[in-house]
Amino acid sequence: MSRIKQFDLPDLGEGLTEGEILKWLVAVGDVIELNQPIVEVETAKAAVEIPAKWGGQVQAIFHAEGATVEVGTAIIAIDTDPQAGPAETGPQTDAAAGEKPSDERAVPPAGGAVEPGMIGGPAPGGRTAVLVGYGPRTTAAKRRPRRTNGHQPQPAAATPAPTAPVAVAKVDPKPLAKPPVRKLARDLGVDLAALPGSGPLGSITRDDVLQASRPEHAVTVGSADPSSAMESHARVAAAAAVGPARERRIPVKGVRKLTAENMVASAFSAPHVTEFLTVDLTRSMKVLDRLRGQPEWRELRISPLLLVAKAVLVALVRHPLVNSTWAGDEILVKEYVNLGIAAATGRGLIVPNIKDAGRLTTRQLAEAVAELVRTAKAGRTAPADMTGGTMTITNVGVFGVDSGTPILVPGESAILAVGAIRKAPWVHKDKIRVRQVATLALSFDHRIIDGELGSAFLRDVGDFLTDPEAMLLAWT
């Protein structure tokens, strides 16, 4: 068996079949340990770090950052015994090593022949070792046939040896370019094989294709005078007032793709109704100020979102049918609340949820909200934290927006949007005062929640935020 092993993109669960390589955490020549994170991959759920299946030295990296890779495709080659000197053979597929035919994947026997600590192998306590945030599969998974063509690796550092250098991977003559770039080249009649790539690892970019498609390209390519090429490029750019040269295509994938699918499914499957209520939050803001002054709260960052979440949880106790799911012939009422908090990230909108939020104290809820927001902003939300939600809050007020008509998260029957908190004239104790007010918008599934129930729930949330101290004393 070759000591140089190719590590395939693992099955990440949740029905996902591909992932985008966001960032390599190792480079060719690095010595790595078993289970050391080697690459950050974005799926349709979230960004996750994938650990190494073996320890050793990185010999080759097969895909650049930004590439979308199917599950089961080799992404890296690792020399598992670098101290033994130069390798005699390059990384082999199972078929080349004489272990399994190329169209099969090795399946661990029932007795558990996978090494302890490896993904899919036994772990302490009788568990199955899997990626963080993913559970072991309970059904047999169908695998795609292993690809037989090689991959384009990063060049490994030269190692002095008495013998000739050993190739670590078969070179793929196919030019390195993303599918949208390949399609653009076909549409414009550009031969990718004749283009030098300016992207990572020499990959061909959209700009490379567009430049090659311009009439001046035939003159500038191979010109000994770089300035003439730059002048031609400037003339073409100035002349292109409209058209493909001034358009940008953004691939729909990952979190954005899943969000789009979910929103379309929700909008056209559940009859939405939205109600609005403008409330006086002056007392809620004073409560937050008093909490911030308490010694045990000073280290914790809190916002009005904390009191909104508490108001929703208290109102759900009074109106449990709001916390339910339409299941065709029946309505499934949840006796627990997995409270979703919509979060805008660089990769799109995600909705992680706080598990069993109804059982948390106010302090625990504050800590959970702060951690949820912090993890989402860092792009580290685990897929398990974005499933199983029962009701959602979306805070559009952070963008300076007064209100909106939010779309239900699939499987939930209600979502509450919170608008910006602004100073405004308000009638308080029969006098016009400057108060801090905001507008709440509740969208709900009219199959489950009728107008009376939706209105009562929204009114109770508003009453709590108008005077949180009095409502806690009266309702709990």
Q: Is 217 a catalytic residue?
A: no
β-pair type (18-24, 68-70): antiparallel
Q: What is the predicted pLDDT for the residue at 423? A: 96
H or E element in which residue 5 lies: strand 4-8
Rounded CA gap, 188 and 253, in Å?
24
Report pLDDT for 214: 67
pLDDT band at 151 (very low <50, low <70, confident <90, very high): very low
pLDDT band per the 50, 70, 90 thresholds, residue 12: low
Domain boundaries, the chain: 4-128, 179-246, 254-475
The number of residues in the chain equals 476
Average pLDDT rounded to a whole number, residues 194-198: 82
Return the C-alpha torsion angle 277, 280, 286, 289, nearest 10.
Answer: 40
Checking if the pLDDT of 232 tops 80, the result is no
Copy the structure tokens of residue 203: 């990959």
Q: Compute the C-alpha angle 319/277/259, nearest 5°.
A: 75
pLDDT at 320 over 90: yes
Catalytic residue among 233, 272, 319, 446: 446
d(CA 371, CA 382): 13
- Nearest-5° Cα angle at 450, 447 to 452: 170
More confident residue, 165 or 40: 40
**DSSP 3-state of 149:** coil
pLDDT averaged over every residue in the chain: 77
Q: What is the mean pLDDT of residues 365-378?
A: 91
| pLDDT tens figures, 59-108 | 999 999 888 888 889 999 999 888 877 765 444 433 333 333 333 333 33
Highest-pLDDT range among 13-27, 198-212, 363-377: 363-377
| pLDDT value of position 215 | 56
pLDDT at 227: 53
| The token pair that represents 457 in the structure block | 């729930």
Judge contact between 336 and 356, C-beta under 8 A.
yes
Shortest CA distance to 437 belongs to which of 458, 459, 417, 422? 422
Predicted confidence (pLDDT) at residue 144 exceeds the cutoff of 60: no
pLDDT digits (tens, 9 = 90+) for 233-287: 555 455 456 777 777 887 777 767 777 787 787 877 788 899 999 999 999 999 9
Please tell me the predicted confidence (pLDDT) of residue 49. 83
Q: In which band, very low, low, confident or very high, does the pLDDT at 1 lie, cut at 50, 70 and 90?
A: low
3 state SS of 178:
coil
Give the DSSP letter of residue 145: P
Helix (H, G, I), strand (E, B) or coil at 192: helix
Q: Which of the residue ranges 208-212, 345-349, 411-415 would you say has the lowest mean pLDDT? A: 345-349
Instruction: Give the N- to C-terminal CA distance of the chain in Å, as an integer.
Output: 67
Instruction: Specify the pLDDT at position 345.
Output: 78
What share of the chain has pLDDT > 70, as a percent? 72
For position 448, what pLDDT does the model report?
93
Instruction: List the CATH code of the domain at 254-475.
Output: 3.30.559.10
C-alpha closest to that of 131 among 9, 253, 216, 255: 9
H-helix or E-strand containing 261? Answer: helix 254-267
Tell me the residue type at 146: R
pLDDT at position 362: 93
Q: Can you give the pLDDT at residue 43?
A: 72
Residues whose CB is less than 8 angstroms from the CB of residue 167 and which lie 6 or more positions away in sequence, other chains included: 90
Residue 456 pLDDT level (bands cut at 50, 70, 90) = very high
pLDDT band at 459 (very low <50, low <70, confident <90, very high): very high
Quick check: helix, strand or coil at residue 352?
Answer: coil
15: left (phi over 0), alpha (psi -120 to 50) or beta: left
Cα–Cα separations (whole angstroms), residue 404 to 264, 417, 425, 462: 17, 7, 22, 17
pLDDT at residue 380 greater than cutoff 70: yes
Q: What is the CATH number of domain 4-128?
A: 2.40.50.100
Residue 365 is given by DSSP the state H
CA angle, 108 then 79 then 32, to 5°? 90
Residue 120 CA: distances (Å) to CA of 1, 8, 10, 135, 308:
21, 14, 10, 10, 42
Question: Rounded mean pLDDT of 193-200?
Answer: 80
What per-residue confidence (pLDDT) applies to 413?
A: 95
| Strand (E) or helix (H) holding 264 | helix 254-267
Given a cut of 80, whether residue 318 has pLDDT beyond it is yes
Overall average pLDDT of the 151-176 stretch: 45
The pLDDT value given to residue 210:
83
Q: Is the pLDDT of residue 398 over 60?
A: yes
CB of 275 closer than 8 Å to CB of 450: no
pLDDT at res. 139: 38
Burial (Cβ within 10 Å: 0-12, 13-18, ≥19) of residue 122: middle
Residue bearing tokens 């300016």: 198
With a cut of 90, say whether residue 212 has pLDDT above it. no
What's the pLDDT score for residue 44? 63
Residue 357 zone, left/alpha/beta (φ > 0; ψ -120 to 50; rest)? alpha
Query: What pLDDT is attached to residue 24?
Result: 92
What local confidence, expressed as pLDDT, does residue 45 receive?
Answer: 59
The whole-number average pLDDT for the span 398-417 is: 93
pTM for this predicted structure:
0.57
Token output for 100: 């399994």
Is the predicted pLDDT of residue 110 greater than 50, yes or no? no
- Taking residues 298-306, report their average pLDDT: 91
pLDDT for residue 221: 37
Distance CA 30, CA 39 (A): 13
SS3 content of the chain, % helix, strand, coil (to 5): 30, 20, 45
**258 phi and psi angles, rounded to 5 deg:** -65, -40
Using CA atoms, how far apart are residues 243 and 240, in angstroms rounded to an integer? Answer: 7
